Structure 1
């Protein structure tokens, strides 16, 4: 299994962009819970915290395809430098607004600016892998590796920001996120050797969202994003209700940990069933895995169940990005990948907002029913529209 991954890093320049991309996208797991912890500590309201976090995610969801199109047209380095600088200033503004007790609208305005200037660095990393290994069996392993890297981020990020916010001060987690974003993004941008070349866009190509398969994937990931957003916020409230708010990051790390384990296994295998079949099966497993969490009232049991539920996340993301790479023209690849991110972002925003409302009205344990309902919706849409994802299968690679 290790050998499959080791072979990815023989190409010159790969290790550099992988490490920089990993550091630069650490904030994707830190911002949401960091904002929730900061705003809830200041206002005492999870509804307000969820609303600010949702604003950030909505603005990111709107802006991600636009920044992806700019990257496809002008190149990664020309877009990263200005957006990373603006993002750092926006996040600093959010923390200053909270620190000075400025009116609520300043929190929403700053949160919107943070999301609008956030980089879809994961899409850019995957675009580099596609440029290196597009059309080969190595791309499946590369996407699996990136999914595992994402889950390592989601294991360590929430735990780190929770410890910093609860044991140091509420701002510490977001400060670390700012440093990681700026440092990692700049380090990624300066590595020009592995940057995909800018390709001429043919007239009339339009946007990847007009491709039926991409539109379907976007709808599925909208619902899955709602699962992620609601689980994040509800889990923080669940731990708080049980007097162990500091454990919320570790509960979320269990959710991501299950995905990390399955991603390592999934990427090491040579699959003979189609991408479409893998995708719909992963959705079904995700629903089954989430069933128990709506009926749990113990923190320890919840951690185990979140780990088991997380086992289906990586296979779903890996196959989704692989389908996107096959469905989208190379000249629009970054934007196509960004549509997956933007759908997840919208879903996370809706899930965080609705999760906050339901938590305050019915309690955290009952609010988990929202997460389960969104997973069911994702599976229904994905299975029902899976005909749009049928692709001519490439010959099965020989096993090594």
Structure 2
């Protein structure tokens, strides 16, 4: 294990990229929940808080690929300062109008405009791809990336909530905005790892989603996001039904910790199985372990079951991102990776919504059924697209610029 990670860390530019990316990805985990907590503390209206945060998340998911397309065409150092500055301005304006108790319509408008915040995880993965495309170190790099993502979602939401509850309502989003400014600046200072702009090949002039294999991955990730989103809601409902609402925190932490442990372990391995088969195995295990929470009698067993379920998440994401770097041409890499992240984000939102409706109608345990159905849908999508993934993963994409 040590050798693979040492190889990664001794690569010029890798350590700086890792440290900068650790800061740059935190705001994505903080801003949504920060908006919710700020509005709940300020207005006490839960539906408004959820709707405004949902507007930001949806806008970010839909706008993100187009910003990433600009990045592919013009470069990170030219696009990121502009869109980040605009997003920060809109977030600060949102915080101000909430503080001033302005009309709620303004909240939605500013939240939507703030959705121009760039997809930093995709920018980071594009840099790892620039460093290690076609090399075994890319496997370890994406494993580190998945671990840092899990850490961001373990640290970020509690930090945002704690700041807003213990200091003042706007504290969580304000700190998130500050981290966004610092993180993106630190990231852009790592000029050694910035991807070169690649002129696209004529055979890739259509939509990135129409590149063979991409739609299969995006739909599978949408279902995978639905599993995570439904589990989040169902866990909160289950903890409340058990009379111990606070237990939801450590239950969900167990889920994330399982993914983190598996991500670190997977990064130390070199798997010889063809990449599309690795993807299928990861999806299969994710779907099967998604059934476990249905049978949990209490919060302790549920924690153990979700730890097991989490073990497949990070390795599957590592395989997905590696597969993406194979089938996506270099001129579309950031956009393509962002579409994958968009699939997850929309899936999380849909999974949470459906699980909430099911919980209201049939009780807490039934909410886990959404994860089971999403897992089944994910398996069907991958089985239908497996032959295409196998074919495209063995063909070369357009070469990078020398």
TM-score normalised to the size of structure 1? 0.89
Distance 1:266 1:292 in 2: 22
Q: CA deviation at 1:134?
A: 1.0
Distance 2:28 2:238 in 1: 22
SS in 2 for 1:11: coil
Match of 1:397 in 2: none
SS in 1 for 2:135: coil
Query: Are residue 126 (structure 1) and residue 118 (structure 2) matched?
Result: no
Task: Go from structure 1 to structure 2 and tell me whether the alpha carbon gap of 1:305 and 1:87 turns closer, same or farther (over 3 Å shift).
Answer: farther
Q: CA deviation at 1:66?
A: 0.5
Kindly report structure 1 stretches of 4+ aligned residues shifted beyond 6 Å: none
Task: Go from structure 1 to structure 2 and tell me whether the alpha carbon gap of 1:189 and 1:132 turns closer, same or farther (over 3 Å shift).
Answer: same
SS in 1 for 2:192: coil
Distance 1:183 1:248 in 2: 31
Task: Go from structure 1 to structure 2 and tell me whether the alpha carbon gap of 1:26 and 1:366 turns closer, same or farther (over 3 Å shift).
Answer: same
Stretches of structure 1 that go unaligned for 5 or more consecutive residues are 395-400
Task: Go from structure 1 to structure 2 and tell me whether the alpha carbon gap of 1:48 and 1:386 turns closer, same or farther (over 3 Å shift).
Answer: farther
8 Å contact 2:242–2:299 — kept in the other structure? yes
Task: Go from structure 1 to structure 2 and tell me whether the alpha carbon gap of 1:248 and 1:77 turns closer, same or farther (over 3 Å shift).
Answer: farther
Match of 2:254 in 1: 254
Match of 2:265 in 1: 265
**Is the deviation greater in 34-43 or in 120-129?**
34-43
Match of 1:174 in 2: 173
Task: Go from structure 1 to structure 2 and tell me whether the alpha carbon gap of 1:130 and 1:82 turns closer, same or farther (over 3 Å shift).
Answer: same
Distance 1:96 1:360 in 2: 34
Q: CA deviation at 1:250?
A: 3.7
Task: Go from structure 1 to structure 2 and tell me whether the alpha carbon gap of 1:298 and 1:109 turns closer, same or farther (over 3 Å shift).
Answer: farther
Stretches of structure 2 that go unaligned for 5 or more consecutive residues are 397-402
8 Å contact 1:147–1:317 — kept in the other structure? yes
Match of 1:368 in 2: 368
Match of 1:333 in 2: 333
Query: Are residue 24 (structure 1) and residue 40 (structure 2) matched?
Result: no
SS in 1 for 2:117: coil
Distance 1:255 1:102 in 2: 39
SS in 2 for 1:199: coil
Match of 2:315 in 1: 315
Q: CA deviation at 1:269?
A: 0.8
Distance 1:341 1:45 in 2: 30
Match of 2:138 in 1: 139
Measured against aligned partners, the alpha-carbon deviations of 1:174-229 in whole angstroms (never above 9, x if no partner) come to 23222221110111112212111111223452232111200110111111122223
Distance 1:152 1:283 in 2: 22
Q: CA deviation at 1:264?
A: 1.0
Distance 1:177 1:248 in 2: 23
Task: Go from structure 1 to structure 2 and tell me whether the alpha carbon gap of 1:78 and 1:236 turns closer, same or farther (over 3 Å shift).
Answer: farther
Task: Go from structure 1 to structure 2 and tell me whether the alpha carbon gap of 1:127 and 1:269 turns closer, same or farther (over 3 Å shift).
Answer: same
8 Å contact 2:224–2:374 — kept in the other structure? yes
Map 1:178-217 → 2, pairs under 5 A: 178-203=177-202, 205-206=204-205, 207-217=207-217
Please, what is the CA RMSD of the aligned residues?
2.6
